[in-house]
A and B are shown apart, each in its own frame.
Chain A
Amino acid sequence: MQLQLFSWIFPPKTDDVRATAKDRMRSMLTHDRLELPAGRLETLEEELMAVVGRYFELDKDTTHFDLQQYERRASLIANFRLLRSKC
Chain B
Amino acid sequence: MSGRVIVITSGKGGVGKTTASANIGVALASTGVSVALVDMDIGLRNLDILMGLENRVVYNLVDVVEERCKLRQALVKDKKLPNLSLLPAAQTRDKSAVNAEQMKALCNELKSMYDFVLVDSPAGIEQGFQNAVAGADEAIVITTPEMSAVRDADRIIGLLEARKDEIKEYRLVLNRYRPTMVANNDMMSVDDVLEILSVKLLGVVPEDEDIIISTNKGEPISGTDNIRAGLAYRNIARRIRGEDVAIMDLESKNTTWINKIVSFFNPTVRV
Contact = CB atoms under 8 A, between A and B. Distances in A.
B185 A29 contact: no
Contacts of B271: 2-3, 6
B186 to A, nearest CB: 5
B198 A72 contact: yes
B189 interface: yes
Q: Which 10 A-B pairs have the closest CB atoms?
A: A18-B185, A16-B185, A72-B198, A17-B186, A22-B192, A71-B198, A29-B154, A21-B188, A25-B196, A25-B147
> Helix, strand, loop or mixed for chain A's interface?
helix
Contacts of A24: 147
A7 to B, nearest CB: 9
Given A6-B258, A25-B192, 9 more contacts: A2-B262, A2-B269, A2-B271, A18-B188, A21-B188, A22-B196, A25-B151, A32-B155, A72-B198
Contact of A32 (B151, B187, B189, B269): B151
Nearest to A16: B185
Interface in A8-31: 10, 12-13, 15-19, 21-22, 24-26, 28-29
A3 B188 CA distance: 24
A69 interface: yes
Interface of A: 2-3, 6, 10, 12-13, 15-19, 21-22, 24-26, 28-29, 32-33, 69, 71-72
A10 B183 CA distance: 13
A6 B150 CA distance: 33
Given A2-B262, A2-B269, A71-B198, A28 B151 contact: yes
Contacts of B55: none
B182 interface: yes
**Which has the most chain B C-beta neighbours within 10 Å: A3, A15, A17?**
A17
Contacts of A3: 271
A26 B196 contact: yes
B158 interface: yes
